[in-house]
Amino acid sequence: MHDPAKPEQSGSPLFILTGVCVADNKWKISLETIKAFRKKIAREAYLNYDVEFHCSEMVDTHKVNAYQQISISDRWKIIEEYAETLGQNRALLLISVVINKTKSGLEPADYLTGAITALYIAFDELLKKEETYGIVFFDRANEKTTNTHVRKLLGTGASGMSGAARIGRIIEDPIFRLSHDSMFIQAADVAAYTLKEHELPKAARKKFYADRIFMKKLSGICLRSNAAGEDGIIRI
């Protein structure tokens, strides 16, 4: 929950879920592009290749020594370069769902499932357009809730009944991966975090242009789904 009267004592006013879409025949080259970027910043002595790229911990280091050794300005420079690497890869598309808790009619318990539904509908729309099928990989969190809800959407749950959304092109249950082991999940983290900075800018970070990264580097690869606004963001 978010309590506007107690912003420092409650959750964030935003809930953001972001997915990176990549075609199977572009998967390898897209992964190699991300790996090349990670090797580049490793050569530049910023961040070792085997360290997970996690934006919130990079910005607010929380005793992560690998991040603390990088200056604050360089941290934001690296995040912007990562976003640019993704944005220049036209084999990728982003689906981003934003829930503004102060405006949304959703109950807090429905933030995750509501965002998943919106993401699945948009992804299914893309798959229908491309006349293909797709599978979804999630960061390893909230597995039970996510699985139960997705099975309802796909009509593969115990009841066999699909939910209100008609999803026909997404196959299988969600596959959960540790973010440390998946560079695509880490890429989704970069997109979600920079979108958060755009939607909820902080004055102290504007000198690093943190609030401009998403629109400048990533807005061009946002999927313009039926539910999205002109900026490609789905807001519910």
Six-digit token string for 88: 């220049």
Domains of the chain, by residue range, sit at 14-235
Give the DSSP H or E segment for 145: helix 143-154
Q: Look at the domain 14-235 and name its fold.
A: Nucleotidyltransferase; domain 5 (3.30.420)
Buried residues in 104-115 as b, exposed as e (16+ CB within 10 A) = bebeeeebbbbb
Mean pLDDT in order along the chain per 10 residues (236 residues):
76 94 96 98 95 93 84 96 97 97 93 97 97 97 94 82 77 95 97 97 95 98 97 96
47, exposed or middle or buried, with CB in 10 Å at 0-12, 13-18, 19+? Answer: buried
Q: What is the pLDDT of residue 2?
A: 78
Q: What is the pLDDT of residue 65?
A: 86
Task: Give the number of other Cβ atoms within 10 Å of residue 200's Cβ.
Answer: 14
